[in-house]
């Protein structure tokens, strides 16, 4: 099962899902060599993200949530060494783009998740933060679900009283860039005239930034870009995806037993070694 097959399934689901009008909170503008536009660590409602509503909590919900945390703690032990994840064919999503949290994705497993398969012991993505030395520290995992799942179906997987599933919506991509390109880590850096790049004449650092970030450089395009409607996207030389990928939920099982932290919307700091 390759990434193209995953993309085919994902797009079929994404375009059949409602075109929600909410968004991820912007992660900042382009300053120097920071990135405004990767899927980051502090998530909230906005033009590029929809999140599930909370439901009243039950004792059964708490028990199910703790089962997920305990399962992940056991299953992820070996992946504290990120090289093990790479050796088992996890791939880093957008490795050249600075991010608060990096998704190491097992695409065949994610494809199964997008067709409704849910195995708490085998999440489709592992979540790492990057240290100043260039190493990766494991902080959690991400599960995915079909884009057309109802809130009730999501609740059956991980209770909505504990976690907030999210979906990326209203994503503007430049013409010539596809989700398949992004899955391969191709942000159009090889194209000198790709929309979204910084003007070379106005910034001496622009060529290096463009080479690293491609169409994400100026902050208009992508998962947290400034563009959030079809008209502006078309005018900027792009096209709009009503929803990119399906539902997703992050779980951070290593920072104690507080469910608000484990299923929270902020990437926790890694525990001390």
267 assigned to some structural domain: no
How many CB atoms are closer than 10 A to CB 265?
Answer: 15
User: Which residue range(s) make up the domain with 177?
Assistant: 3-262
pTM score, whole prediction: 0.79
Residue 35 is predicted with a pLDDT of 36
Locus of tokens 């902080």: 139
- Domain count across the chain: 1
Strand ranges for the chain from DSSP E: 49-51, 91-92, 102-105, 125-130, 136-145, 166-174, 238-251
Tokens of 47: 């033009």
Residue 260's closest CA among 143, 166, 162? 162
**Quick check: 168 and 39 in contact, CB under 8 A?**
yes
In a domain, 225, yes or no: yes
**242 is a domain residue:** yes
Q: For the chain, what is the radius of gyration of the CA atoms?
A: 18
* Spatial contact of 183 and 245, defined as CB atoms under 8 Å apart: no
Helices and strands, counts by H and E, the chain: 9, 7
Residue 186 forms part of a structural domain: yes
pLDDT for res 138? 97
Per residue of the chain (273 residues), give pLDDT as tens.
Answer: 444 444 433 333 333 332 222 222 222 233 333 333 445 444 445 788 999 999 999 999 999 999 999 999 999 999 999 999 999 999 999 888 888 999 999 999 999 999 999 999 999 999 999 998 889 999 999 999 999 999 999 999 999 999 999 999 999 999 989 988 888 888 988 888 889 999 988 788 999 999 889 999 999 999 989 999 999 999 999 999 999 889 999 999 998 899 999 999 888 887 665
Whether 271 maps to a domain, the answer reads no
Question: Could you tell me if residue 218 is inside a domain?
Answer: yes
3-state secondary structure (DSSP) of residue 144: strand
Domain assignment present for residue 268? The answer is no
What does the pLDDT read at residue 56?
96
What are the phi and psi torsion angles at 168 (to 5°)?
-90, 120
Question: By CB neighbour count within 10 A (0-12 exposed, 13-18 middle, 19+ buried), where does 216 fall?
Answer: buried
How many CB atoms sit inside 10 A of residue 12's CB? 13
Residue indicated by tokens 């991010």:
99
* pLDDT score for 273: 56
């Amino acid at each position: 099962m390759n990434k193209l097959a995953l993309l085919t399934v994902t797009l079929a689901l994404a375009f059949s899902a409602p075109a929600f009008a909410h968004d991820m909170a912007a992660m900042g503008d382009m300053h120097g060599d920071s990135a405004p536009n990767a899927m980051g660590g502090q998530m909230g409602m906005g033009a590029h993200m929809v999140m599930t509503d909370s439901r009243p909590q039950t004792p059964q919900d708490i028990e199910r949530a703790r089962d997920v945390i305990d399962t992940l703690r056991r299953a992820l032990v070996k992946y504290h060494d990120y090289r093990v994840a790479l050796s088992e064919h996890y791939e880093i999503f957008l490795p050249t783009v600075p991010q608060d949290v990096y998704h190491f994705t097992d695409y065949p497993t994610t494809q199964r998740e997008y067709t409704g398969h849910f195995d708490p012991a085998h999440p489709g993505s592992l979540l790492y933060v990057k240290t100043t030395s260039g190493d990766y520290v494991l902080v959690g995992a991400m599960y995915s679900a079909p884009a057309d799942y109802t809130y009730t179906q999501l609740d059956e997987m991980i209770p909505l009283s504990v976690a907030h599933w999210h979906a990326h919506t209203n994503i503007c991509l430049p013409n010539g860039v596809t989700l398949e390109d992004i899955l391969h880590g191709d942000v159009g850096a090889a194209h000198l005239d790709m929309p979204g790049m910084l003007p070379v004449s106005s910034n001496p650092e622009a060529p290096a930034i463009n080479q690293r970030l491609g169409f994400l450089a100026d902050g208009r395009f992508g998962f947290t870009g400034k563009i959030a409607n079809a008209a502006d996207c078309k005018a900027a030389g792009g096209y709009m995806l009503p929803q990119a990928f399906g539902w997703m939920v992050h779980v951070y099982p290593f920072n104690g037993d507080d469910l608000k932290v484990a299923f929270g919307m902020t990437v926790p700091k890694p525990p001390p070694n």
